[in-house]
C-alpha cells in the first residue's frame, strides 16, 4: 500500500479521500458522530488514540479512576441525553474491567460504544502483556463487537458501531483496536451510506396488529398500560405519544423501574411502579385487568412474580422493537414488533378513526381507588430517627422544582428512591435495573453531570454500594462535576439483610457493613464536601446545604437500621399476594426459597 | 457433536418463577442460519445456544457464496415450540445473521448427511459388510486386505442404521458431517 509511505496524514477535508492514522480515524469518526464527551482511562494499548485526543477540543475526555467507572459514566450520559455513550479503555485489565458496564448496558438496552485497545496484531494469541481475548469475553455481553484487523475498515466499523448501538433495541458495541492498527495509515470514510444488510430493525408496526389492538382497546372494561424502558429508549416522542394515547383513552398507567418518568407521576391515572416492590394498586390492576397494553417492557421476573398466576384474565398486547422479547416469558395475544413511538402513534390514529364509544371506566377506576386506599407506601415516621422513606420524600420535596437528575446504586435505597421520588419527565432517572450493579450510581451521576453541567445530579446511594465505586468522587472533583451523593446509611447491606430476615431465619451472614469509613472525612480526603445528618429535624437544612454547595458532596444520612422495603411480592408469589405491613418470616414457601 | 450446551429441562419458557407451559412436548427442528461470513460469527451462534441453555444435536457450517461472504449454518436442535420460537428470534437478533429458515416445518425441506465409516475384518464378516454397503448404496473409498472405508449419504436415521449394522462386523470408527439442508423447488431459502 503506497499510502503507508506518506509521513504525514493529509489534513482533514470534507470532499477528497482522507488518509490518516488509525488513531486519528477513531477521533475523527467520534467527532463526525457528534460525540462531545467521552469517558476513559489510558494504557499502553491505547496511547496512540490518547495522543490523537491531545490538544483537540472537539471532544471532552473525562478521566475516571477505574475503567468500570468509565462504562457506567457513559451509560449515565446516554440515559440522560438519549445519545450514545462512549468509553475508551486499554487492553487486558482495561477491557475486563469494562465487562460489568457492558453487561449492564446490554440488560438495560443502553446505547454505548466501547473502544478497547489491543496488543499489536502480530502478538495476538501469544499471551502478550495485557492481552486478553476481548471480543471473546464480550461476545455474549455486548450487542455486537469487532476486532479491527485492517485500518482501512476502521472508519466503517466505527460508524457501523454507532448505528448498531443506537438503532433497534439499543445496546453496547465493543470495538477492539490493536495498537499497530492505531499507528497504521488508512482511508477515512464518512458516516453517510453506512448500512448493514443483515441488521435492519423493524420500526413501523404491522397495521393488522394495530387494528386488532385498537379494537381491543376500545372494548376494554379493565385496561392497564404497562410501560417500560423501551418508551424512554425510543426517545421523547414516545413519552409524548404515551401521554397522548392515555389522554385519549383514560386508561391507568403503571411502569417498570426502567420506565419511570415516561408518564408523569403527578397524573391522577398514574398507578406507581409495579413489580416486587411496586404499588399495591399497580400490581392488583395488573392481576385483575382484562386488557394489558405492554409498551416497551419485557415481563421481567421482578415484574411478573409467579408467571403461572400472572394476570390470568387479561388479553395482552405487547409492543417491543425486539421480536425475541415477545412470547419469551408470557404468551401475548397481539404482538407488535415496532418502535414504541411509531406503534403508539399508529394506535392513536386508529382509535381516533374508529370513533367508537368506549366502555365506561368508572367501575374500574373505583376498584383502583379501593386499592389505592390501602396506602401501601405508608410507613411509621419517627421524631428521633430518620426513616429512609422520609429522607427520600424530603429530598424529592426540596429538589422537585429544580432541574434534577437522579441516579441510584442497587438495593433498598434504590427501591425507596423508585417509590418515593416521583418523576415527571423521561431521562431523569438512571438506575441499574436488569443487572442490578452495585456501584453504578456514582459514576453514572458523573456521566449525567458531564452532559448537563448546570443540573442538580443526585446519586441516591447506600453505604455498601457506594464503596464499590467510591473512587469516582475524585473524578467528579477533577472535572468540576458537582454531583451529590445522598447515602441512606443504615449500616447494613439492607436488601441482603431484608432477605435474610425473610428467608434465612434472621441469620445475618456477612451483611453488616462493618468498619465503615467516616464519609465526611472521606469526602474531604477526596476533595469534596461531607455532610452528616442523623436527626429528622435537621434533615431539610442539611439537604439544602447539599444542594447549595457548588462542588461534589457526600451526604451521610444516618437512617433507621432495620427498616424493610415494603410492599413486597415475595418470590414465588402472585401479584395479589403482596406483603404490606410487616414481615413475619412465614411469607415464602419452600419452593419460593430456592428462587432469586 | 452431541450436545454443546448446558442441560435444559426442555419444557417451557425460562423464568425465575415457575414454568408456564410445562405441558408442551419437545420437538426436533432443523434450522438453516444464513450469516455474513465474518470472524467470530460461528462463535456468536454457538455461544447463543450454550449461553441460553438450548440444545445442539448437530451443526454444519461452510461458506456458500464467496462473493457475498455468505455462510450457511445448519443446526439441528430440540425444544418445545415455545423454546424453538425463542431460538429463531434470538438468532435473528445477532447482527451478522441475515436469515433463519425452519427446514423441518417448511414441508419442502430436504435433509442429508454424509458419513465415513471404517470397518475392519476378514472372511465372512468382510463379505457381509460389503453386501450391506451395497444395499445402503455406500461407496467404498478406501480398502486394504483387512478394512474398508465406506462413504454413505442420506437421512441421519439411515446413517445411524448403517452404522448399527456395521458394529458386529468390525466397526472401527465413524465420521459424520452433521445435517445439511435445502428446500425443494426453484425458490431460494
Which residues in A lie closer than 8 A to residue B48 (C-beta atoms)? Answer: 140
For A472-496, write each residue's pLDDT tens digit: 999 999 999 999 999 999 999 999 9
Q: Is the dihedral of CA A258, A261, A264, A266 positive or negative?
A: positive
Question: Is residue A133 scored above 70 in pLDDT?
Answer: yes
Q: Determine contact, residues A571/B17, Cβ cutoff 8 Å.
A: yes
For residue B76, give Cα distances in angstroms to A64, B104, B129, B161.
47, 9, 30, 19
Q: Do A307 and B17 touch (CB under 8 A)?
A: yes
Work out the average pLDDT over A509-515: 95
For B119-173, write each residue's pLDDT tens digit: 999 999 999 999 999 999 999 999 999 999 999 999 999 999 999 999 999 999 9
Assigned C-alpha cell, A89: 479503555
Residue A446's nearest CA partner among A476, A406, A468 is A476
Let me know if A130 is a catalytic residue: yes
Per-chain mean pLDDT for chain A? 95
Residue-level pLDDT at A142: 98
d(CA B64, CA A42): 42
Q: Is the dihedral of CA A346, A352, A354, A356 positive or negative?
A: positive
For residue A404, give Cα distances in angstroms to A61, A233, A422.
24, 19, 11
Q: Do A135 and B36 touch (CB under 8 A)?
A: no
Work out the average pLDDT over A451-473: 98
Count chain A–chain B contacts defined by CB atoms under 8 A.
Answer: 76
Let me know if A179 is a catalytic residue: yes
d(CA A229, CA A256): 7
Q: Is the dihedral of CA A104, A106, A110, A111 positive or negative?
A: positive
- On whether any CB of chain A is under 8 Å from the CB of B114, the answer is no
Work out the average pLDDT over A367-385: 96
Of the partner residues B18, B85, B95, the one whose CB lies closest to the CB of residue A327: B85
Q: Do B19 and A307 touch (CB under 8 A)?
A: yes
Question: The cell 445411524 sits on which residue?
Answer: B160
Q: How confident is the model at residue A146 (pLDDT cuts 50, 70, 90)?
A: very high
Mutation target for B interface from A199, A306, A590: give the one with most B CBs within 10 A: A199
Let me know if A217 is a catalytic residue: no
Question: Is residue A558 scored above 90 in pLDDT?
Answer: yes
Of the partner residues A135, A301, A322, the one whose CB lies closest to the CB of residue B40: A135
Question: Is residue A386 scored above 90 in pLDDT?
Answer: yes
Rounded to the nearest 5°, which phi and psi values hold at A421? -100, 120
The catalytic position among A179, A241, A316, A387 is A179
- On whether any CB of chain A is under 8 Å from the CB of B47, the answer is yes
Q: Do strands A223-227 and A185-188 pair parallel, antiparallel, or not at all (unpaired)?
A: unpaired
Q: Do strands A185-188 and A18-21 pair parallel, antiparallel, or not at all (unpaired)?
A: antiparallel
d(CA A324, CA B88): 8
Distance (Å) from the alpha carbon of A385 to chain B's nearest alpha carbon: 37
- On whether any CB of chain B is under 8 Å from the CB of A330, the answer is yes
Residues 117-136 of chain A whose Cβ lies under 8 A from any Cβ of chain B:
135-136
Q: What is the mean pLDDT of each run of 10 residues along chain B (189 residues)?
A: 36 44 82 95 96 95 94 96 95 96 88 97 96 97 96 96 97 96 85
Let me know if A67 is a catalytic residue: yes
Mutation target for A interface from B44, B84, B90, B95: give the one with most A CBs within 10 A: B95
Rounded to the nearest 5°, which phi and psi values hold at A591? -65, -40
Quote the pTM value: 0.93
In sequence order, the β-bridge partners of residue A38 are A61
d(CA B4, CA B15): 22
Side-chain-facing half-sphere of A480: CA atoms under 13 Å = 3
Which residues in A lie closer than 8 A to residue B19 (C-beta atoms)? Answer: 307-308
For residue A161, give Cα distances in angstroms to A170, A171, A498.
11, 10, 42
Q: Determine contact, residues A591/A559, Cβ cutoff 8 Å.
A: no
Amino acid at each position: 500500500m503506497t499510502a503507508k509511505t506518506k509521513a504525514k496524514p493529509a489534513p482533514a477535508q470534507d470532499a477528497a479521500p482522507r488518509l490518516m492514522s488509525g488513531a486519528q480515524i477513531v477521533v475523527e469518526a467520534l467527532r463526525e458522530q457528534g460525540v462531545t464527551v467521552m469517558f476513559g482511562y489510558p494504557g499502553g494499548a491505547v496511547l496512540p488514540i490518547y495522543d490523537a485526543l491531545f490538544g483537540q477540543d472537539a471532544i471532552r475526555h473525562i478521566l475516571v479512576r477505574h475503567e468500570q467507572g468509565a462504562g457506567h459514566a457513559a451509560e449515565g450520559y446516554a440515559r440522560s441525553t438519549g445519545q450514545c455513550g462512549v468509553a475508551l479503555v486499554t487492553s487486558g485489565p482495561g477491557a475486563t474491567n469494562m465487562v460489568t458496564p457492558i453487561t449492564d448496558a446490554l440488560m438495560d438496552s443502553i446505547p454505548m460504544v466501547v473502544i478497547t485497545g489491543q496488543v499489536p496484531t502480530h502478538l495476538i494469541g501469544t499471551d502478550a502483556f495485557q492481552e486478553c481475548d476481548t471480543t471473546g469475553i464480550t461476545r455474549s455481553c455486548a450487542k455486537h463487537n469487532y476486532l479491527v484487523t485492517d485500518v482501512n475498515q476502521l472508519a466503517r466499523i466505527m460508524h457501523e458501531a454507532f448505528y448498531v448501538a443506537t438503532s433497534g433495541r439499543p445496546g453496547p458495541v465493543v470495538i477492539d483496536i490493536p495498537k499497530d492498527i492505531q499507528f497504521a495509515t488508512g482511508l477515512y470514510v464518512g458516516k453517510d451510506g453506512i448500512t448493514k444488510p443483515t441488521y435492519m430493525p423493524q420500526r413501523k408496526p404491522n397495521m393488522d396488529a394495530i387494528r386488532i389492538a385498537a379494537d381491543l382497546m376500545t372494548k376494554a372494561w379493565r385496561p392497564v398500560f404497562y410501560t417500560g424502558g423501551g418508551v424512554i429508549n425510543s426517545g421523547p416522542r414516545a413519552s409524548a405519544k404515551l401521554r397522548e394515547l392515555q389522554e385519549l383513552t383514560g386508561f391507568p398507567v403503571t411502569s417498570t423501574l426502567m420506565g419511570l418518568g415516561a408518564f408523569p407521576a403527578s397524573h391522577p391515572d398514574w398507578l406507581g411502579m409495579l413489580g416486587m416492590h411496586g404499588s399495591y394498586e399497580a400490581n392488583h390492576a395488573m392481576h385483575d385487568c382484562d386488557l394489558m397494553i405492554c409498551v416497551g417492557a419485557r415481563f421481567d421476573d421482578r415484574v411478573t412474580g409467579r408467571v403461572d398466576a400472572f394476570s390470568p384474565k387479561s388479553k395482552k398486547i405487547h409492543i417491543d422493537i425486539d421480536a425475541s422479547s415477545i412470547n419469551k416469558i408470557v404468551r401475548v395475544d397481539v404482538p407488535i414488533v415496532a418502535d414504541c413511538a411509531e406503534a403508539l402513534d399508529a394506535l392513536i390514529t386508529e382509535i381516533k378513526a374508529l370513533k367508537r364509544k368506549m366502555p365506561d371506566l368508572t367501575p374500574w377506576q373505583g376498584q383502583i381507588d379501593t386499592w389505592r386506599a390501602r396506602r401501601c407506601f405508608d410507613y411509621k415516621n419517627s421524631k428521633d430517627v430518620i426513616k429512609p422513606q422520609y429522607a427520600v420524600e424530603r429530598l424529592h420535596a426540596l429538589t422537585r422544582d429544580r432541574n434534577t437528575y437522579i441516579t441510584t446504586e442497587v438495593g433498598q435505597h434504590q427501591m425507596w428512591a423508585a417509590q418515593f421520588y416521583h418523576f415527571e419527565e423521561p431521562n431523569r432517572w438512571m438506575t441499574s435495573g436488569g443487572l442490578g450493579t452495585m456501584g453504578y450510581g456514582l459514576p453514572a451521576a458523573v456521566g449525567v453531570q458531564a452532559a448537563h453541567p448546570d443540573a442538580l445530579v443526585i446519586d441516591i446511594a447506600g453505604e455498601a454500594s457506594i464503596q464499590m465505586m467510591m473512587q469516582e468522587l475524585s473524578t467528579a472533583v477533577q472535572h468540576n462535576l458537582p454531583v451529590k451523593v445522598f447515602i441512606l446509611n443504615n449500616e447494613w447491606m439492607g436488601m441482603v439483610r431484608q432477605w435474610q430476615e425473610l428467608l434465612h431465619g434472621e441469620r445475618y451472614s456477612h451483611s453488616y457493613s462493618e468498619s465503615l469509613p467516616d464519609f465526611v472525612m472521606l469526602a474531604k480526603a477526596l476533595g469534596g464536601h461531607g455532610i452528616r445528618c442523623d436527626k429528622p429535624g435537621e434533615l431539610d437544612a442539611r439537604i439544602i446545604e447539599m444542594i447549595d454547595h457548588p462542588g461534589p458532596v457526600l451526604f451521610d444520612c444516618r437512617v433507621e437500621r432495620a427498616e424493610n422495603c415494603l410492599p413486597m411480592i415475595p418470590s414465588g408469589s402472585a401479584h395479589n399476594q403482596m406483603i404490606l405491613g410487616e414481615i413475619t418470616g412465614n411469607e415464602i414457601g419452600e419452593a419460593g426459597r430456592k428462587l432469586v | 457433536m452431541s450436545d454443546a450446551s448446558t442441560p435444559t429441562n426442555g419444557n417451557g419458557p425460562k423464568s425465575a418463577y415457575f414454568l408456564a407451559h410445562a405441558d408442551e412436548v419437545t420437538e426436533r427442528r432443523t434450522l438453516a442460519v444464513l450469516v455474513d461470513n465474518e470472524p467470530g460469527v460461528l462463535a456468536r451462534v454457538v455461544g447463543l445456544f450454550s449461553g441460553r441453555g438450548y440444545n445442539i444435536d448437530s451443526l454444519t457450517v461452510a461458506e456458500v457464496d464467496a462473493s457475498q461472504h455468505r455462510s450457511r449454518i445448519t443446526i439441528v436442535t430440540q425444544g418445545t415450540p415455545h423454546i424453538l420460537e425463542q431460538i429463531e428470534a434470538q438468532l435473528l437478533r445477532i447482527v451478522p445473521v441475515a436469515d433463519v429458515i425452519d427446514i423441518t416445518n417448511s414441508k419442502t425441506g430436504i435433509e442429508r448427511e454424509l458419513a465415513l465409516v471404517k470397518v475392519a475384518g476378514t472372511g465372512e464378516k468382510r463379505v457381509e459388510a460389503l453386501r450391506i454397503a451395497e444395499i445402503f448404496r455406500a461407496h467404498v473409498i478406501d480398502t486394504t486386505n483387512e478394512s474398508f472405508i465406506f462413504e454413505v449419504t442420506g437421512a441421519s436415521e439411515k446413517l445411524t442404521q448403517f452404522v448399527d449394522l456395521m458394529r458386529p462386523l468390525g466397526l472401527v470408527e465413524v465420521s459424520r458431517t452433521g445435517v445439511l439442508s435445502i428446500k425443494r423447488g426453484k425458490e431460494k431459502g
